Amino acid sequence: MKFAITSKGDSRSNTLMHKMKTYLLDFDLQYDEDQPDICISVGGDGTLLYAFHRYASRLDKTAFIGVHTGHLGFYADWVPEEIEKLVIAVAKTPYQVVEYPLLEVIIRYQHGGRETRYLALNESTVKSVEGTLVMDVEIRGQHFERFRGDGLCVSTPSGSTAYNKALGGAILHPSLRAIQVAEMASINNRVFRTVGSPLILPDHHTCTLKPVNRRDFQVTVDHLTLLHKDVKSIQFRVADEKIRFARFRPFPFWKRVHDSFISDSD
């Protein structure tokens, strides 16, 4: 088996990374940063997001494991004190593959038929470079509303606990193949109206944003912030690809939600 390890970059994470690498090499596993079968992320959810985007072209071949060295993460289920146990599990134990849905983002441009495609594990947001964002929102090719406000956030089920939750969106279980559209400070008065509630779309529905006045937008894809000019449309849907996690033990989603937002234990 080939493995790779990514680190948050702090001294604690780097120490754990080097220790695990040494242990796994002692078990005759092969270290391969280019084509790993398993990628171990050491740090937090942000570190795993980085690893996901690094290996986005081989999601059907690489499974991910998260070790958190800070606060409890939604993607990282191992703690530093369990490193030896994790190493033995990786080297000796068959793992269960758990798949989470991803968000596909396709940005099309006004000229030349060009388009850019991204995958998001958590969410994608769209904001105007300056002023209010004004977008026509289409669902399944039909006009739904004209949005006016600060921006829109489209999230995956696993990303529904992040920015989406802060916007008042629902928390979705990752077994649901769906995306969620949440508003950022929409303008609602007697002249302008939006639905005012998050929308949950199944995997056979698309959500497309079409500019009304401006053509330049700030688009985020997870931790990446990108400026896109001369935009014709931005399309969101559940991606065909999935992220694969290597599980050696149960990691219940609702327990993670409880521990992150409700539990008062350290």
pLDDT tens readout for residues 169-220: 999 999 999 999 999 999 999 889 999 999 999 999 999 999 999 899 999 9
Prediction pTM value: 0.95
Structural domain span for residue 109: 102-240
pLDDT at residue 265 above 60?
Answer: no
pLDDT top residue among 15 and 214: 15
pLDDT at residue 266 above 70?
Answer: no
Paired strand residues for 235: 106, 208
Which residues, at least 6 apart from 70, have a Cβ–Cβ distance to it below 8 Å? 8, 43, 44
Q: Identify whether residues 106 and 236 lie together within a single domain.
A: yes
Number of structural domains (the chain) is: 2
What angle do helix axes 11-26 and 83-92 make, rounded to 10 degrees? 40
Q: Identify whether residues 228 and 119 lie together within a single domain.
A: yes
Q: CA–CA separation, 102 vs 71, rounded Å?
A: 24
pLDDT of residue 73: 76
Q: What is the CATH number of the domain that holds 176?
A: 2.60.200.30
pLDDT at residue 259 above 90?
Answer: no
pLDDT of residue 72: 67
Question: Where does residue 122 fall: left (phi above 0), alpha (psi -120 to 50 degrees), or beta otherwise?
Answer: alpha
Q: Identify whether residues 130 and 212 lie together within a single domain.
A: yes
Q: What is the CATH number of the domain that holds 31?
A: 3.40.50.10330
Active-site residue list: 45
**Inter-residue contact 22 to 14 (CB < 8 Å):** no
Which 8-state DSSP code applies to residue 161? G
Q: Identify whether residues 161 and 146 lie together within a single domain.
A: yes
Residue 266 in domain: no
Mean model confidence pLDDT for the chain: 95
pLDDT of residue 195: 95
Q: Is 138 helix (H, G, I), strand (E, B) or coil?
A: strand
Write out 82-105 in H/E/C secondary structure.
HHHHHHHHHHHCCCEEEEEEEEEE
Q: Identify whether residues 125 and 17 lie together within a single domain.
A: no
Q: Identify whether residues 108 and 190 lie together within a single domain.
A: yes
Q: Identify whether residues 88 and 107 lie together within a single domain.
A: no
Q: CA–CA separation, 67 vs 177, rounded Å?
A: 26
Residue 86 in domain: yes
Residue 208 in domain: yes
